[in-house]
Amino acid sequence: MAVSMADITKLRKMTGAGMMDCKNALTESEGDFDKAVEIIRKKGQAVAAKRSDRETSEGCVLAKSTGDYAAMIALKCETDFVAKNADFVALTQAILDAAIANKCQTLDEVKALPMGSGTIADAIVERSGITGEKTELDGYFFVSGACTAVYNHMNKNQLCTIVAFNKVCDEKIAHEICMQIAAMNPIAIDEAGVPEAVKQEEINVAIEKTKAEQVQKAVEAALKKAGINPAHVDSEEHMESNMAKGWITAEDVA
């Protein structure tokens, strides 16, 4: 059957799918919109299953504050091209808005929220059918307090931070703290929040560094006691050069 442009446009608004996908779905369903939507959804499921083992190394990260509550979400995909697509960013924003409106506590709660004719989880699968790439909701985080602040680094939707304060804070200061977190990437806000494994690793590094420094000091002290400038024998090249200059002897080098 012939499919009109008006019908294709309507289905595109309903699903966000590409023009040819909408045309093919309407043709296959003989103009039945409900069936066409189901065809597009199944295509997304097929693509998602086929590419389930692919790596999602790109994506869109967004953050939003509503005053006393802030959240951040990451929708991942395979390529930078898809991550920067306006529809992909819009889907990420719609998911974040829904999560904040419902003040979700977990990623599973976000996935279960209604969206379109199904859930957010369904919408993500459908996006796989539209882009042809594996798409997954990778993370959801939230904070709450007397006031909150968010930061989207260079507005590139790749690095975001969210902060909650226990009392109302100056907006400019709050924003600068968010920027500082993005710049420094701290692992905790105080000592109690640092994992024991990280502490032990840092202690081990400090011990080894101290040992090396002590050995170096002992070596330099021994050289000076022997009347040799440590700077003259700190490398093979220096030793050869300084012997040629007569600053040290072959015995010194030995």
CB 121 within 8 A of CB 53: no
Kindly list the domain boundaries of the chain, sorted by start residue.
5-50, 58-186, 196-253
CB 37 within 8 A of CB 15: yes
On average, the pLDDT of the chain sits at 88
Give the pLDDT of residue 60: 97
* pTM for this prediction: 0.67
Give the pLDDT of residue 234: 82
Could you read off the pLDDT of 113-133 as tens digits, one per residue?
999 878 999 889 888 878 888
Tokens (6 digits) for 233:
């024998």
The CATH code of domain 5-50 reads 1.10.8.10
Weakly modelled stretches of the chain, pLDDT under 50: none
Beta strands 58-65 and 69-77, pairing class: antiparallel
Give the pLDDT of residue 52: 65
The CATH code of domain 58-186 reads 3.30.479.20
Give the pLDDT of residue 103: 94
Give the pLDDT of residue 1: 66
> Could you tell me the CA-to-CA distances from 135 to 53, 65, 88, 99 in Å, in that order?
11, 25, 10, 18
> Could you tell me the CA-to-CA distances from 4 to 24, 30, 37, 66, 228 in Å, in that order?
12, 12, 16, 43, 92
CB 117 within 8 A of CB 35: no
